[in-house]
Amino acid sequence: MKAKWLPIAAAVTAALASQAAFAVDFHGYFRSGVGVSGDGDMVKYNVNKVGRLGNENDTYGEVQLGQEVFNKDGKTFYVDSMFAMASNGSNDWEGTGTVCNFDAKQCNGDSDFALRQFNVQAKGLLGFAPEATLWAGKRYYQRHDIHISDFYYWNISGAGAGIEGIQAGPGKISFAWVRNDRSAADVFGQYTQTGVDANGDPTYQKNEDLNVNTLDVRYAGIPLWQDGSLEVGAMYALVNETDAQKDLKNDNMKNGVMLTAELTQGILGGFNKTVLQYGTEGYSKTMAFYGDGSWYGAEAKDGADGFRIINHGVISMGDSWDLSHMLSYGVGNKMWDGNDSWTAFAGVVRPVYKWNDVMKTEFEFGYGKDTNKSTSGSKTSNDYQKFTVAQAFAAGKGFWARPEIRVFASYLKQGGDGNNNVFNSGKDDNTMNYGVQAEAWW
């Protein structure tokens, strides 16, 4: 794996070095640290539902390099790239990639590397909209997220193309076509039995992923009143099955629509966002399972639909306190045989006390509850809880100031119907995380 990345890294470095070194844009993100729990290493537990503070047990990093490679007569071309690494942070020299023996159901290696972005962005090329950006390649595309729960609720990042930022009246309109394939394992099963060999043992064929193309249109920056704006958008998922895949499911999976409206209000030196979303067919699962639109549950039952309401924001409460919060309520209807509805609620709040310009005390409370109602009328539910306290040292006083080093302790608990002993090797319904973490972006 390492050998494969060296030529790519060398090519990127050579391309960027061909221009003046000062013109290279260098950005990135990382988090890493060390911790323990009753399960030995720290556990990462339903982050989207109960919050991420003191609830991340990985090492993750992104390195982004970009450069304007052409600028003439108002026309520009920009090349952007990003490489990412994820691991469990267990060793100094960690294995690269994950090599799996599916027969033995074993996987080795604790690190993965990915090419997250590699694209070209050009401006000034379109005579009817010189302000717009024409782009193609792989990129993060207009992602909308909630930081404290690492919850991306509107995001189709991937390989694609589009025209972004066309001035249209008071706002700007953008069009994109992005590919977001669905894992074969989730739709058809990883393998299909094809027969038996000479010894009478079954033979299998690996199934292909389901090809899904997403068409996306957004109208952003619509002014409403003082410090208030609106963004609306629609996504259309096109399912592109092969004949073999149609035979596997014994029916044609349906295309779906996801509609989003986001109201942003500046308030108390920060912001508040209210989001309304509605999805049909495969997007019903997006609403119920904290999806963002980048995966499409094409295997959902015909006629499935769902909706979601989100409110989140960050405000300043005087000179010493900041507060961030999120509330999410989503429902998916008739997503599979026997399912009438799946309801998902989550709430997270993070108050931060600032002692001085570099030291803070942070608290985070999180609660989530899922309820599955069957067509027979029976209900089952689970609830999820977390409380974290952290002493943090940051490069600045604001909520978003980074880098930050934090020492934390977290209490995690699961309750509800059935056996909730999910911690400490299946012995307890609660556990504690203790650790130290660094987080930075630049």
- What pTM was computed for the model? 0.90
Beta bridge partners of 323: 315, 351
For residue 116, with 0-12 CB atoms within 10 Å meaning exposed, 13-18 middle and 19 or more buried, which class applies?
Answer: middle
Phi, psi of 8 (to 5 degrees): -65, -45
Q: Are 109 and 155 in contact (CB under 8 A)?
A: no
Question: Locate tokens 């070095």: which residue?
Answer: 17
Beta bridge partners of 369: 345, 383
Q: What is the mean pLDDT of the chain?
A: 91
For residue 181, with 0-12 CB atoms within 10 Å meaning exposed, 13-18 middle and 19 or more buried, which class applies?
Answer: middle
Give me the pLDDT at residue 245, please: 84
Give me the pLDDT at residue 374, please: 96
Radius of gyration of the chain (CA): 24
Give me the pLDDT at residue 102, please: 45
Cis ω for the linkage preceding 130 (within 30 of 0) = no
CA distance 148 to 6: 35
Phi, psi of 287 (to 5 degrees): -70, -35
Among 392, 325, 387, residue whose Cα is nearest residue 148: 325
Q: C-alpha dihedral over 45, 49, 51, 54, to 10 degrees? A: -10
Residues ≥6 apart with Cβ < 8 Å to 287? 277, 278, 279, 306, 307, 308, 330, 331, 332
CA distance 350 to 363: 5
CA distance 342 to 336: 10
Give me the pLDDT at residue 16, please: 55
Q: Which two tokens stand for residue 2?
A: 């390492």
Give me the pLDDT at residue 18, please: 54
Q: Which residues of the chain have pLDDT under 50?
A: 1-2, 102-106
Q: Are 328 and 309 in contact (CB under 8 A)?
A: yes
Q: Are 414 and 422 in contact (CB under 8 A)?
A: yes
Cis ω for the linkage preceding 7 (within 30 of 0) = no
